[in-house]
Amino acid sequence: MRLMRIRSASVLLLLAAATAFAQTGGAKPATPTPSTPAPAQAAPQTANPQPPAAPAPSKAPQAKTKEEFDAYKAAAALPDPNQVLAAADQFAQKYPDSELRELLYVQAMNGFSQQGNADKEIEAGRKAIAIDPHDPNPLIHVASALVEVTRDNDLDKEQRYAEAAKDAQAVIDNINTGLRIPPNVSEAQVQAAKNSILTLAYETLGVVAMQKQSFAEAETNFQKAADISKAQPVARIYLRLSVVQDNEKKYAEALVNANKALQYSQQGTVEQTLAKQQQSRLQKLVGEGAEPGAPAPPTPQATAPATPAQGGNPQQAQPPQPH
């Protein structure tokens, strides 16, 4: 189960196309010659320049030898993400300078994500980030998975939240330069993918701030996530936004967002039930003319599950209760 996932079809298409591009036209099994392009720089900002209005296709990773390319293909063809991860480690040890190392770790990471194995997803994602710390794909996977698996009684809770926030911010900083964009993906698809990833990044930052009870900071990030995803509203984000505004005693604003959460939630979901509870509570407070500084009755635990993706299970997030 996952707290939050990249669910946009455009994101999946973009990532699949990028991998396919590397496996076919991009990663050429050729012995290097003087005319062979130089390897990409470590930071994608230099290797993949993209004008803001029309992102340029990024340079696909390339194999330097046929042996390297064949080893990559053999690892990528393995059916189980555990096998891919083990093969990726072996590949990285044998070809420590290969441009294809990250692709194998990302493939394993995506496989673990589909299985709902967040711990292994984090492990593979971290290895991909170590190779390319500017790629929004593993960054957002690790950030959102860390938020999911971290619990209040974890001894390293603060470090894990700090890592999640750092990765989510890196997504925002590198979204226009770090994505691998094949030439056969339209600008509209690229922008839709970026919006989906950015929405999740700001939501992750909001969850981290909410866990720290930094409600003003959480509100800012959830509002950004809501604004970016207006074309495809996410009920979970409006519910979380309502909860943090409730904690700030902004009852009228919180009610507006509770109404939106209910409007956009699917029939019969836990999300819909929680939105109804939040709406009912706030209607009473607003109807009674509660003053901004007046004490409020405790809010029920606001659990905001993500919509299942391709048969995945919903995941719950538990924001702190107001005092």
Q: Is 1 part of any domain?
A: no
Q: What is the pLDDT of residue 122?
A: 97
The predicted structure's pLDDT at residue 52: 36
Residues 26 and 170 in one domain: yes
- 147 shares its domain with 195: yes
Q: What is the pLDDT of residue 14?
A: 52
Under 8 Å between Cβ of 118 and 145: yes
Q: Number of folded domains in the chain?
A: 2
pLDDT recorded at residue 183: 77
Domain boundary residue, one of 194, 227, 260 = 227
Considering the domain architecture, whether residues 323 and 181 belong to the same structural domain is answered as no
Inside any domain, residue 291:
yes
**Which pLDDT score, from 0 to 100, does residue 11 have?**
52
pLDDT averaged over 10-residue windows placed end to end, the chain, 323 residues: 47 52 45 29 33 45 90 96 98 95 96 95 97 96 94 93 98 93 86 94 97 96 97 95 97 97 94 95 82 46 35 34 37
Q: Which domain holds residue 319?
A: 233-323
Query: Which residue matches tokens 């405790």?
Result: 298
pTM here is 0.77
pLDDT at 16: 53
In terms of domains, do 211 and 83 share one?
yes
Same domain, yes or no: 264 and 222: no
Contact by Cβ (8 Å): 183, 198: no
